[in-house]
Amino acid sequence: MDQEQPPKQLLSAPVSASKRERFRPVAIFFQLIIAFAIVVASGFVMQRMVADKKKPPQRPVREQAYTIETIHAHWGSYQPKITAYGEIVAGNVVEVRAELSGILKSLSPQLRAGHIISANTQLAEIDPFDFETALAEIAADIRESQARIKEANAQIAAARTEQTNIAAQLELAKKDLERAQALIKKGSVTRQTVDQRQQVLLQKNSALQSSGSHILIEIAKMEQQQAALDRLQLRKTKALRDIKRTVVISRFDAIVESESLTQGQLVSANQIVAKLLEISALEVEFTLSDQQFGRLVGSGSQLQGKPVDVLWETGQRSLALKGRITRTAPTISADMGGVSIYAALDGLTKETVLRPGAFVQVQLGDITYDKVFKIPESALYDEKRIYLVKDGRLQSVMVDVAAFDAGSVLVSGPVEEGAEILTTRIAEAGEGLKVQLVGQESAETPKQGSFGKRGKGASGPSDADKPPKTGRPQKADEESQP
């Protein structure tokens, strides 16, 4: 009776735990069934909602028409322009040299590289003292020679007067001898008298001959003095020329390329004073390809004298000049890949800002192509195809390219006069593509190049992009909700 009994709650705990362990799989099974049922029910409800929803009406698919621009084909003769590039070169480079030796007395302040020198501008002056002294000496020698010539002329005049007198005396001696010979026959005079008078005649005759010889000698002396005077005159002319040559001047309008002297320097003859580039002799040198050169020469036209247009662009300023081809390079350069051509420029003055070395564009007329029509480069596809517009559709035509001309192409092919040719560039261009001209597009057809664009200020889809309203009642919408 007094033995202690275990507590009741401690005896029932093992029994409850065993029951829970026995029914745990059943509980998990029922939980899985319930979850599966919920998923199936949800899928069924969603399927019904989707099936019951009324689909919006489909918009009809319309063929897109591209808005384009066209030109009309006009057959004729065209002369394209050949565009080449070259540079300005100096056609006449002159090394101005000192012609005499001496001290450089003065030097022009304009004689600096890059300055513009006008024609007849004094560049430098050599001290002319020595040359002026030589000129003064020559002038004195000339006066002396002239005086001697005057003296010789006076002696010649005196000798001629004496010769005249001797000739008169000779005539008198002849007459006197004749009278003595006549009187000797009569016995009026002696033989000795006749001999004396004959002796006088011989003396006068000898004196006359001597006088003639003296005159000739005096004339020869005078001619010698005249020759000496002529030599002195030549020396004077040379001395005057030397004095002028002490001043170095520019013979033409020029650009100073370089200078090499300073004032007070001792200059030797033939020493370089400056190097000048003649402005009016500037030329443009450009290169024609072998094909272009052969085409121009082979056409029978004269290349020399052919006009050219030259354009020099310096930033925002452009200088347009005209010229004419003057010559062709003596050799063909393999490095340049063509033939070098030289053209003289017209209208160049000292105000021209053009300088050697400037890179310029040159245009000249190509040969004339007959029976071709001109189209923009944008109208040419695949290098030999164009598209005609007929009845709102594109029609592909193969053409032959004759030449390119500043953004245009000269072509020939089976195209009628006045045919419409597509000029708008379309990536999808092809046979039968639907097109329409600018100004004929409908409100539903966007222009070429504006697909997907919105109106000004639009931030959302346009009305055309929004689906149309179905008119379904709100109630039906509420019933379709889960």
Residues 350 and 300 in one domain: yes
Q: Average pLDDT, stretch 256-275? A: 89
**In percent, how much of the chain has pLDDT > 90?**
39
Question: Is residue 71 included in any domain, yes or no?
Answer: yes
Is the domain of 285 the same as that of 356? yes
Indicate which CATH number applies to the domain containing 158.
1.20.1270.60
Indicate if the pLDDT at residue 117 is higher than 70.
yes
How does pLDDT run across 176-218, given as a tens digit for each residue? 777 777 777 777 777 787 778 788 878 888 888 888 888 888 8
Q: Which of 367, 401, 418 is the last residue of a domain?
A: 367
Q: Say what the pLDDT of residue 196 is.
A: 82
Measure the CA dihedral 337/342/348/353, to 10°.
20
Note the pLDDT tens digit of each residue in 53-91. 766 666 666 778 889 999 999 999 998 999 999 999 999
- pLDDT for 282 equals 94
For residues 352 and 380, membership in a common domain is answered with no
The residue segments making up the domain with residue 418 are: 67-77+370-437
Nearby residues of 479 by Cβ (< 8 Å), 6 or more positions away: 52
Say whether both 417 and 351 belong to one domain. Answer: no
- pLDDT given for residue 412 in this prediction: 93
Per-residue model confidence (pLDDT) at position 58: 67
Question: Which single residue is written with the structure tokens 């540079």?
Answer: 87
> Considering the domain boundaries, does residue 145 fall inside one?
yes
**pTM value?**
0.59
Kindly state whether residues 350 and 392 are assigned to the same domain: no
More confident residue, 358 or 26: 358
Q: Is the dihedral of CA 20, 23, 28, 33 positive or negative?
A: negative
CA distances from 351 to 111, 246, 250, 348, 356 (A): 17, 29, 17, 8, 15
Same domain as 394, residue 345? no
Domain assignment of residue 230, yes or no: yes
State whether 363 and 382 are in the same domain.
no
CA distance 237 to 132: 12
> Same domain for 133 and 236?
yes
Q: Are the C-beta atoms of 213 and 233 separated by less than 8 Å?
A: no
- Residue 310 in domain: yes
Among candidate residues 332, 367, 402, the one where a domain is terminated: 367
The model's pLDDT over 10-54, given as tens digits with 9 standing for 90+, comes to 444 454 556 666 667 777 777 888 888 888 888 888 887 777 776
Please report, for the domain that includes residue 328, its CATH number.
2.40.30.170
1 has a pLDDT exceeding 80: no
Task: Say if residue 8's pLDDT is above 90.
Answer: no
pLDDT by residue (tens digit) across 402-450? 888 878 999 999 999 999 999 999 988 889 999 999 877 654 454 444 3
Mean pLDDT of the chain: 81
Q: Do 317 and 401 belong together in one domain?
A: no
Q: Work out how many domains the chain is built from and give that number.
A: 3
Give the position of tokens 């020099």.
312
In a domain, 6, yes or no: no
Last residue of a domain, one of 340, 367, 394: 367
**Domain co-membership, 406 together with 379:** yes
CATH code, domain with 405: 2.40.420.20
Does residue 474 lie within any of the structural domains? no
Query: Long-range contact list for 43-47, CB < 8 A, 24+ apart?
Result: 45/482, 46/482
Whether residues 350 and 289 fall in one domain: yes
Please check whether residue 13 lies inside any domain of the structure: no
Q: Is residue 348 a contact partner of residue 282, using CB atoms and an 8 Å limit?
A: yes
Q: Which residues pair with 322 in a beta bridge?
A: 309
| Residue 304 within any structural domain of the chain | yes
Asked if residue 222 and residue 156 are part of one domain, the reply reads: yes
Return the bridge partners of 395, or none.
Answer: 388
